[in-house]
Structure 1
Amino acid sequence: MADDTSDSKSVDVVSAPVREDIKTPSEEPSDNSDDSDGRKPPPLAAKLCAVALISCISFGSHWSSGVTGAMKSTMKKEMHIDNVQFSLLEASEDFMATVLLLISGVITDRVGGAQMIVYGNIVYTIGSILVAAAATVRSFDFMIGGRIILALGDIATQIAQYKMFSSWFPPSNGFASTLGFELAIGKIGGFIGKSTSNIIASKTGNFAWVFWTAVFMNLFTNAASAAFWFFNIYCNRHYKGRRDEATKEQLTEKNKKFEFKKMFELPWMFWAVMGFSIFQTSAASVFSQNATELAEKRFNVDSIKAGWYSSLSQYAGFFLVPCLGVFIDVLGNRASVLFICGLGMLLSMVLINFATSHAGTGAAFGIYGIAVSFGPTSVIDSIRTTLWHQSVFGSAYALKVTMNNAMSIIIRIITGALQDADDNSYRRVVQVYLVLGAGATVVGAAILIGSFVTDNLAPLQWTRHKRLTSGAAVIERIRERSLVTQRERTRKISILCFAALLLLTVGSWVAYIWGAVTGHNS
């Protein structure tokens, strides 16, 4: 980043050699660029309908994903497993994601998000049925298999829904707002699923009913997916392709070919945002897994009350998420939001480590609930803002989720082993959370400072007015510098970051295999 800062404003783009294969966004071919057939851009009502349908899909999937973490104590008791085995169960989905998610992102860019959502949710439902059956017969090995199949469906749908958003809305013109709305609906679904899971288990006398309830919710998700698929077909027939008014780039749902070359031209700004996400998202993921049991121990309450406490800490800030999306779309300041999110994560983890009283833990959970609400929208929108080509957003987001899942596997296995070695205590586990929170704060601060000293990161702070009025020229200048003048450096940085991600992924596989061995031998 320091190298870019020193020469970012002194490059003479006019004198740079022009490559014929580098086209401006307005010149890039598109599957949906036919303006001569009388079709008009989709109206606001169609866009809102698309957001509503995808949000329904998100509601069901988040409901299911919040269940297992809330049932940690119950599952360990009923299925006779330890912390390493539970961490292995949670890491099974992450493991499959690291193996197949990147491939899924490339395929989604090629074939489109609508079809991937439908197929993914069908597979996800089959996996959820197997998980519920495994809970019924109390089989840990069976549940591992079900979670792996469930992950195959989740892999397809994770990328597809955000790919659809990127094809309907450009940055600073609805993308962050729709993300915020969808994530808020997802948080509501996750809150209901997590907070009611122990109540269902207690009232029915069998925790397996929690997973069967998730199956019924997945059937609702499938119905919403089918409705969205038909709606998308209708829109493609009646409306022309969407366009980024700032850069004139044609937004596409699917590409004419696989864009492998563009994947190796991802800017270093994208990898900077990835550096923040590896700490913040991984910390949030692993902390959420253990929050219910931690609440049981810190507050001295049963699993039902602890489920409510942990659900509030994770989902209570849902009302902030759509507001944050609108704020980012209109006023920008993405780098500022990233830093505030990292700082909030650090403060909450400091309290978790050093303020172990009821009041201190309650304050930590409250700060965490606000801080974690700032993360997903700002990270995903920042990734979209730093990309040169919307056509590879699915692949870029797949890199992000692959990295987070790989990191989560490693952290989950480590914290599970630490907890088992520490007599089921969280004394050393919370120190890992503290390190991750500190990492997020440091990277967030670096991005924020960089946004003021280099024009490469400046677009993260732009307001909507700035991007629409004068942003196109600046973006094109940065793009030319990255893809023409300093093309080799861009490729080297991208390849180096790809290699680091590959090493992290391989490390997560080693951790997963180690967890499988030690978990089954415990």
Structure 2
Amino acid sequence: MASEKPMDRPLPAAGDGDIDTPARPEADEKRITDIASYPSEDSDEVKDFPWRWKLTALVCGVALSWGSSFSENTLGPLKSTMIKQLDINNSQVSIRHDIVTIVENGRPKTNPPKYGAISSATSLVNTILPIVGGYGLDHYGVEWGSMACSIAIFLGAVVSAAGSNNDSFTLVVTGRVIMGFGSTVIETCTSKILAHWFQHKGLGLVYGLDLSIGKLIVLIAKATAVPMRDATSFWGWALWIPAIVCFANLLQNILYVWWARSRPTWTHMPTGQRLAREESQRERPRGESSETPTVDTMESARRFGALPDWGSLVRVPRFFWLVACTQILQAGVVGGFNGLNADIITKTRGSTAELAGYTSAVQQVIPVICAPLIGTFFDFFGYRMMFVSLTSTIWILVYCLIGFTQTNALGAMIIASVASTMNALPFLASIPLIVPNQLELGLVFGIWKVFNNSGSVIVDMIAGRLQDITPGGTYERVIAFFVAVKGLEFCLGLFYGILDRK
């Protein structure tokens, strides 16, 4: 936030004309975070937040999504239990899982026709919500936005767990949808918190830690789902314990909001609402002596008003739009392979479904260790965009080994885990550098998520169609499509690197 001391200074003379000069857009584009972060212009020695504050923000920010992630990933191992206890069939379990996946991760699957309307509705919400939620975080503040998300996650977890008491399929589904409204935006809260408190320094390490801990939560959730179910005669504890974790997450979020609001004013994250209020206070003396509003006054009112300013989309740097548009299929290809690799291993190597599942799970292990190390490499040496080409090369190797050879699938999955470590991190660590303005960062992360979600839908449709037209329903054409998309990404990574150097 802007400090109180600069606001107490006398306004420049009228002849200076510096209050409403066109220099404002450049400050908004490149320097707004720095301007809003320090108490005065002459405090050059204050270049960063204390490490004690940084570590507190890191722990609280990374922990925001633990509850939703833990609750979501306990569902897979409970499939057979839910079929029995809720008296449903595999199609209904698939629908329940698909709705959760659509709302929480943007990964829609193929649904039977009678559930198409539900699936489409939740997919539409997930397409709009990240952008609307991101803009809300920018305008009203990440503290209140994260509180709203945590409350939605907790309420959804409770409703879903209550369904286990009544063996109600409807309550379980409703709870997961409610939870999805919060979990869709909570990740953007984490991204904004880390970018603000670390001031675009060391972002590779902190985002790597976020990815690493997220993978660890997934492994813990999947490993403990069945023991939680079997701990007592009531299977619903496998849903109630994650709900309790979500409640602990809510308490932790309340603690973070109190802590962040109790810091000095100059450390507060800038918001559109507060800047609008400060702009109005600065413009009031000029407005009293002017018969008509100035152009900059109208621009400020439009830009930081209560209603969304879609002009923010135009102010987003063009390089971000280039990366977002050209990467639309890449995350979908990786997600599609992650969802299909167990079945591919089963069909190409004759493994049992259980063994194939264990083999594919190896992909989650290495990122827990390697993600922070790779992020630290980015911080010290750079080459983020060059890693895009390197990662695509590794994915091509994995796809060829799994789809076109009979090599041991375990080795291929270990290689895939290395690629998975480097897949999203270069972009996550680069977005706050491409768009350093905190008043646009939530919107930008929302746009990035929407592009990834849309790409997942497109890739799922293409992969399903390719498998349908392949004789015997095998995966040769699907794998060839994945290889082609990653081959394109190899070229794009080199192109990004050239533009980045310029």
Same fold by TM-score greater than 0.5: yes
| CA deviation after TM superposition for structure 1 residue 437, in Å | 5.1
**1:426 and 1:154, CA in 2 relative to 1: closer, same or farther beyond 3 A?**
farther
**1:444 and 1:381, CA in 2 relative to 1: closer, same or farther beyond 3 A?**
farther
Matched, 1:403 2:451: yes
Conserved in 2, the CA contact under 8 Å of 1:128 and 1:211?
yes
Correspondent of 1:197 among 220, 225, 232 = 225
Question: 1:475-486 alignment to 2 at 5 Å?
Answer: none
Instruction: State the one-letter code of the partner of 1:353.
Output: G
Question: 1:457-468 alignment to 2 at 5 Å?
Answer: 457-458=500-501
Matched, 1:443 2:493: no
Identical aligned residues as a percent = 21
| CA deviation after TM superposition for structure 1 residue 411, in Å | 4.2
Conserved in 2, the CA contact under 8 Å of 1:273 and 1:382?
no
Correspondent of 2:101 among 86, 90, 95 = 90
Instruction: State the one-letter code of the partner of 1:360.
Output: N
Correspondent of 2:259 among 228, 231, 234 = 231
Conserved in 2, the CA contact under 8 Å of 1:114 and 1:164?
no
Matched, 1:339 2:389: yes
Correspondent of 1:150 among 179, 196, 212 = 179
Structure 2 Cα separation of the partners of residues 337 and 348 of structure 1: 16
Correspondent of 2:88 among 76, 79, 85 = 79
| Alignment correspondent of 1:222 | 250
Structure 2 Cα separation of the partners of residues 71 and 286 of structure 1: 22
Conserved in 2, the CA contact under 8 Å of 1:279 and 1:440?
no
Conserved in 2, the CA contact under 8 Å of 1:295 and 1:306?
yes
Instruction: State the one-letter code of the partner of 2:455.
Output: M
Structure 1 Cα separation of the partners of residues 461 and 474 of structure 2: 16
Conserved in 1, the CA contact under 8 Å of 2:316 and 2:440?
no
Structure 2 Cα separation of the partners of residues 194 and 419 of structure 1: 29
Structure 2 Cα separation of the partners of residues 109 and 290 of structure 1: 37
Instruction: State the one-letter code of the partner of 1:191.
Output: L
**1:408 and 1:211, CA in 2 relative to 1: closer, same or farther beyond 3 A?**
farther
| CA deviation after TM superposition for structure 1 residue 115, in Å | 2.0
Structure 2 Cα separation of the partners of residues 392 and 67 of structure 1: 34
Instruction: State the one-letter code of the partner of 1:80.
Output: N
Question: 1:42-81 alignment to 2 at 5 Å?
Answer: 42-71=49-78, 79-81=88-90
Instruction: State the one-letter code of the partner of 2:474.
Output: R
Instruction: State the one-letter code of the partner of 2:387.
Output: V
Deviation sequence 1:458-493 (CA, Å, 0-9, x none): 27xxxxxxxxxxxxxxxxxxxxxxxxxxxxxxxxxx
Deviation sequence 1:49-82 (CA, Å, 0-9, x none): 1101222234333323333345556656773123
Runs (5+) with no aligned partner, structure 2: 1-20, 107-122, 276-303
Structure 1 Cα separation of the partners of residues 258 and 42 of structure 2: 22
Deviation sequence 1:26-71 (CA, Å, 0-9, x none): 4789555532899955201110111012222343333233333455
Structure 2 Cα separation of the partners of residues 293 and 214 of structure 1: 28
Instruction: State the one-letter code of the partner of 1:127.
Output: G
Conserved in 1, the CA contact under 8 Å of 2:466 and 2:478?
no
**1:421 and 1:275, CA in 2 relative to 1: closer, same or farther beyond 3 A?**
same
Conserved in 2, the CA contact under 8 Å of 1:252 and 1:390?
yes
| Alignment correspondent of 2:16 | none
**1:302 and 1:319, CA in 2 relative to 1: closer, same or farther beyond 3 A?**
same
**1:27 and 1:348, CA in 2 relative to 1: closer, same or farther beyond 3 A?**
closer
Instruction: State the one-letter code of the partner of 1:382.
Output: S
Question: 1:251-400 alignment to 2 at 5 Å?
Answer: 252=270, 256=275, 257=304, 260-275=310-325, 277-290=327-340, 300-301=351-352, 303=354, 308-355=358-405, 357=406, 359-387=407-435, 389-400=437-448
**1:23 and 1:334, CA in 2 relative to 1: closer, same or farther beyond 3 A?**
same
Correspondent of 1:107 among 136, 152, 171 = 136
Matched, 1:168 2:216: no
| Alignment correspondent of 1:3 | none
Conserved in 2, the CA contact under 8 Å of 1:283 and 1:433?
no
Structure 1 Cα separation of the partners of residues 443 and 430 of structure 2: 15
Structure 1 Cα separation of the partners of residues 245 and 168 of structure 2: 23
Moved more, 408-417 or 317-326: 408-417
Aligned length: 423
| CA deviation after TM superposition for structure 1 residue 367, in Å | 1.7
Structure 1 Cα separation of the partners of residues 464 and 394 of structure 2: 25
| CA deviation after TM superposition for structure 1 residue 190, in Å | 1.2
**1:399 and 1:72, CA in 2 relative to 1: closer, same or farther beyond 3 A?**
farther
Structure 2 Cα separation of the partners of residues 73 and 414 of structure 1: 29
| CA deviation after TM superposition for structure 1 residue 391, in Å | 2.4
Structure 2 Cα separation of the partners of residues 70 and 275 of structure 1: 35
Instruction: State the one-letter code of the partner of 1:378.
Output: P
| CA deviation after TM superposition for structure 1 residue 103, in Å | 0.5
Structure 1 Cα separation of the partners of residues 98 and 466 of structure 2: 11
Matched, 1:119 2:177: no
Structure 2 Cα separation of the partners of residues 224 and 187 of structure 1: 20
Structure 2 Cα separation of the partners of residues 143 and 300 of structure 1: 33
Matched, 1:22 2:31: no
| CA deviation after TM superposition for structure 1 residue 378, in Å | 1.0
**1:351 and 1:345, CA in 2 relative to 1: closer, same or farther beyond 3 A?**
same
Conserved in 1, the CA contact under 8 Å of 2:31 and 2:436?
no
Deviation sequence 1:416-470 (CA, Å, 0-9, x none): 78889999x9734x75465245324413422323423xxx4227xxxxxxxxxxx
Structure 2 Cα separation of the partners of residues 415 and 101 of structure 1: 25
Deviation sequence 1:352-396 (CA, Å, 0-9, x none): 3223x5x53222321221111112221112222222634201100
Query: What's the TM-score, normalizing by structure 1?
Result: 0.70
Correspondent of 1:210 among 238, 243, 268 = 238
| Alignment correspondent of 1:520 | none
Secondary structure of the residue aligned to 1:23 is: helix
Conserved in 1, the CA contact under 8 Å of 2:367 and 2:421?
yes
**1:37 and 1:59, CA in 2 relative to 1: closer, same or farther beyond 3 A?**
farther
Secondary structure of the residue aligned to 1:235 is: coil
Compute the RMSD of aligned alpha carbons: 3.7
Structure 1 Cα separation of the partners of residues 230 and 345 of structure 2: 18
| Alignment correspondent of 1:505 | none
Conserved in 2, the CA contact under 8 Å of 1:58 and 1:182?
no
Instruction: State the one-letter code of the partner of 2:52.
Output: A
